[in-house]
Amino acid sequence: MTPASDTYETGFETELEPSRKAMSLKRIQFYGGILVNESGEFDLNLNLNGPRYTGHPTRELDAAWDELVGNYVTLNDQEAARINGEISKENGHFFVVPHVQHSLHCVNYLRKALYPKFYPTIHEVKETVPNYWTHIDHCIETLRETIQCNMDMTPVPHVWFEKKNMYIANTQLVHTCRDFEALQRWEKDWEEQVKQRNNA
């Protein structure tokens, strides 16, 4: 049973406790909807004011994904004791990654899987990483569970496009989301605090 004080806005006891102070909600316009343009062709509506995450691989695209996926969060003994599940110590610290960023890693892995000529290393067989299909299935299962867990109930209306004689889902809606940029700022601040703590 979830404590009454736990909310989507303030965080839940199963989440990374130090990050909860940075949680806030934000209304965000979604993009990426499929439209039919004036020529009657399918088109993708992208946010032209933000980073690009789709399309053929480029260095800029990879850099944008690297920024999204982020790094590990460093914890001490006391902070790690609050983690639900097994965790291993390495060089005197514990390392975790927020689930949101693990999910983004999975989306990025699936993106790279679509372009094997650009990302041949994900097909390499190594003893230190899961094989290609195990990793693919892991990511699909993780994303399925995450989507069901988050259960966004924003209604997606269907719109009739005469030029295609069909309905298309209008996914370009405003959603109430946690502020991801606030999480990124918190992570940078947290790692700076960890460095200062280690140097004290």
Could you report the per-residue pLDDT of 151-174, keeping only the tens digit for each?
Answer: 999 999 999 999 999 999 999 999
Q: Is the pLDDT at 125 greater than 80, yes or no?
A: no
SS3 of the chain: helix, strand, coil, percent, to 5: 40, 20, 40
With both helix axes pointing from N to C terminus, report the angle between 99-113 and 59-69 in degrees, rounded to the nearest 10.
160
Mean pLDDT of 37-44: 93
**Which is more confident, 199 or 64?**
64
pLDDT > 90? residue 182: yes
Per-residue model confidence (pLDDT) at position 43: 94
124, pLDDT greater than 80: no
pLDDT of residue 26: 97
Q: What are the domain boundaries of the chain?
A: 17-187
Give the dihedral of Cα atoms 135, 56, 147, 187; nearest 10 deg: 90
For the stretch 22-39, pLDDT in tens is: 999 999 999 999 999 999
Mean pLDDT of the region 52-74? 95
> What was the pLDDT predicted at 198?
81
pLDDT tens-digit readout, 83-99 = 988 999 998 899 999 99
Res. 1: pLDDT tops 60:
no
Q: 122 near 112, Cβ under 8 Å?
A: yes
pLDDT at 127: 78
CA dist., res. 105 & res. 116, Å (int): 17
How far is Cα of residue 33 from the mean position of the Cα atoms in its chain? 19
* Burial 160-183, CB ≥16 within 10 A → b, else e: eeeeeeeeeeeebeeeeebeeeeb
Buried-exposed string 107-131: b where 16+ CB fall within 10 A, e elsewhere:
bbbebbbeeeeebeeeeeeeeeeee
Give me the chain's average pLDDT, please: 92
Percent of residues, the chain, with pLDDT higher than 70 = 98
User: Residue 191: what pLDDT?
Assistant: 92
Segment 126-140, tens digit of pLDDT: 777 788 899 999 999
Q: Tokens 């679509």: give the residue.
A: 114
